[in-house]
Structure 1
């Protein structure tokens, strides 16, 4: 890269950072910027400028480490890929504008300056996009795994009694996960009664009911009894209107009633202590 550009950037880094931050506030998604404190935005912006400049000074290995760290920070902040692409373009415009305004350039020198800036910035742009995309995909994948692990847990609450609380929409993929966790959990915890709590399921349609019935049948086949608890009035009405048969599965309106019945099935009950 042109030594003149390197020298200029080092001498005007703070000034360019200030101008660049103002430009980014104008051109970036306001929601992404406004949720951050001024200090966080400043630190992230400075890290970005330092990263771009370090491409001149650092070894490839060290630069790759910095770019990976920066990409992880950007993804963690929830900033879009456009923050990087717009940021690099704005930085190039700032450098070009300031350099050409402070001294007279010939047409040949201006063309060389533009070529040098492109030769410097374009590889950085490509590498940042690639690193950001890989980081984003990895983060989404890890989040998906974490959500799956939390989305259908089978929780042993008493000896021989387990509960599976369901929250949110149930689609085909999640229904498969529910079935797997349910059967594995019944065997692992030696459950005799399993309560599927649908209090947090907003909509129970034919497909959801079908998945729940299948889960109940599967539990019965491995030697346990299945109960569906948390049947709200609107869900009960929907089930009746859809003509869904739940005769083979015990249902209750609340989790408390379900636990009381589960205790009775396992020859236990809750008693109030005297005194």
Structure 2
């Protein structure tokens, strides 16, 4: 019965693929169909069916192929639910196709069901495990990359560096900001550090506390800290919260902050005629 299953899939691969694609396009989220071109969807679907088939014939490279496929479909945006539905749909198409052709007589349905279950269940579990592990690895790498890019201290002039902040600041990110700020201040030998909060949507008590701590830490390593990019609504929030920023020089824009930093280091911006 097992060999009949193998032979049926091998001899009807193109037909199975066509039926599977029709079934999955009906079930797919619009985002999956629209974002991925028909050519890519067809190629990826063929790889998926080949992958299921390679496990059936005990391909020694199956695990490697599965990991590569999982990484690919994650990049394409295929959610795990879509992949698992795909396996269920493929199983149903094979089962119904073999019954229609008479390859599975009624008196051997139980035997065939057991063979089918022994093939699909371990495969189903392995696909889920590899997909989950690959997804977690991808998310972890993306998180590390975002963290590395989320708080860079940029030297813009000699002795002057800028720390542009974008997005929400939580406790974990505040620690990273502090580390990058102190390390960069010493590394670039900065005398003035400008913390630019133009891209920070909300400044509450916790965010202000982290900024004050960062400014104090910069002062302790021998540099001056300025807070720039304070929009009117942010200024109003700071006043309403009663946050004391008296020890920190503040400006409304990064440009004004750089001008103030240049003055502090005995320099200024001049316009040349002609």
Shorter-normalised TM-score: what interval?
over 0.9
Structure 1 residue 58 displacement after superposition: 4.8
What are the ranges of 5 or more consecutive residues in structure 1 without an aligned counterpart? Answer: none
Worse-matched range after superposition: 238-247 or 21-30: 21-30
Aligned length: 274
Structure 1 residue 127 displacement after superposition: 1.0
Structure 1 residue 109 displacement after superposition: 1.2
Worse-matched range after superposition: 93-102 or 76-85: 76-85
**Does 1:150 pair with 2:149?**
yes
Map 1:18-167 → 2, pairs under 5 A? 18-60=18-60, 62-103=61-102, 105-167=104-166
CA displacement 1:138-182 (0-9 Å, x = unmatched): 101000000000110000011100000000011111111111100
TM-score (norm 2): 0.97
Closer/same/farther in 2, CA of residues 122 and 147 from structure 1, 3 Å limit? same
Instruction: Indicate if the aligned counterparts of 2:161 and 2:193 stay in contact, CA closer than 8 A.
Output: yes
Instruction: Indicate if the aligned counterparts of 2:219 and 2:225 stay in contact, CA closer than 8 A.
Output: yes
Structure-2 residue corresponding to 1:262:
261
Map 1:12-23 → 2, pairs under 5 A? 12-23=12-23
SS in 1 for 2:164: strand
Q: Distance in 2 between matches of 1:110 and 1:29?
A: 34
The RMSD of aligned alpha carbons is: 1.2
Q: Distance in 1 between matches of 2:82 and 2:134?
A: 15
SS in 1 for 2:222: coil
Runs of 4 or more above 6 Å deviation: none
Q: Distance in 2 between matches of 1:83 and 1:43?
A: 16
Q: Distance in 1 between matches of 2:94 and 2:158?
A: 70
What are the ranges of 5 or more consecutive residues in structure 2 without an aligned counterpart? Answer: none
